[in-house]
Amino acid sequence: MQTVQIIDDGLGEYWHRGNYSPTAKYYDAIVKALCREIGVHKLVENTSSDKRDELFVWMQATDDIDAWLDAVELSLTAIDTTVRSRSNLPYRTHVRRPPDDVINEFNARMQESGIGYRYLSQKIIRVDSEHIHDTLIVPALSLLEGPAYSDANQNYRNAHEAYRRGRLEDCLSHCRLAIENTLRAIARQRGWTARESDPPGRLLQIAVEAGFIAPSVLPFLGALAAPAGLPAAGLRPDAGSGMREFGRPFAAFQLHQTAAMLLYLAEHHVAEPSGEPAVVRLGSSGQDTLRPPQHGKVLCG
């Protein structure tokens, strides 16, 4: 009931003085998308043409958790994007609260109730640890919001969606792609020579050769970019024997490690704009070695 009321505040009424309200079309689109996903013509039988009522009656009656989460995601995304971008006078008349208030209340209610889901970056994501969510996942998605990281952003959000839906092999594959595309984005911005076919391991080696990553850090990052057992081409739902041995705890582990690596790469890119390595002279040997910069924030160490 609380979630329905929260969405109602953000989308507003369906009718206004006998006519469709400016936000009625959003209810129409949400119901149409849900019907297609579920495979039905109507969410609820014997309802009027009021799609707002149809949506809310169904949300309060369904026991299909995944479909209910889809409805929340569609509704909050409409509020977060379309309603937000059309915050002119006609919409203010029908929408009771601004998008940020609606989203913040939904997330707060989920946390208060001990329900492990949050809305973030146009996705409902599963939260297994509040601390990790706040210190890794939220900052990682925030850093990837820029156009340069659009592919990596989509990959990492897809990883969370796959995790929520139990598609754990896809989750691992999307994690790997998020790291790969983050490295590609940094390579483009820094002018490194890299082929589109280069796997994450090769991209990391290029980063070392360019002085962006210290050699001593490479083994740790390489293990995150290609965890044991993941093929270079990524996983598929019909992957061969052994792939289904990865359970939800391992997928969650990889989601969190991926966030840590994305943060390290993106923040290090900002902290070291020149791309020049930090050099330390080692005693009497006269040999130089590379070390990570001391002023950057490294979250995976």
CA angle 208, 232, 271 (to 5 degrees): 30
pLDDT at 93: 57
Per residue in 150-204, pLDDT (tens digit) is 899 889 989 988 888 888 889 989 998 999 999 999 998 898 888 888 888 888 8
Out of 7-11, 128-132, 243-247, the most confident range is: 7-11
pLDDT at 293: 37
Confidence of residue 295 (pLDDT cuts 50, 70, 90): very low
Out of 67-71, 112-116, 125-129, 263-267, the most confident range is: 67-71
Confidence of residue 66 (pLDDT cuts 50, 70, 90): confident
pLDDT at 240: 41
pTM as predicted: 0.60
Per residue in 73-118, pLDDT (tens digit) is 999 999 999 888 876 545 555 688 889 999 999 998 887 776 778 8
Q: Is the pLDDT of residue 44 over 70?
A: yes
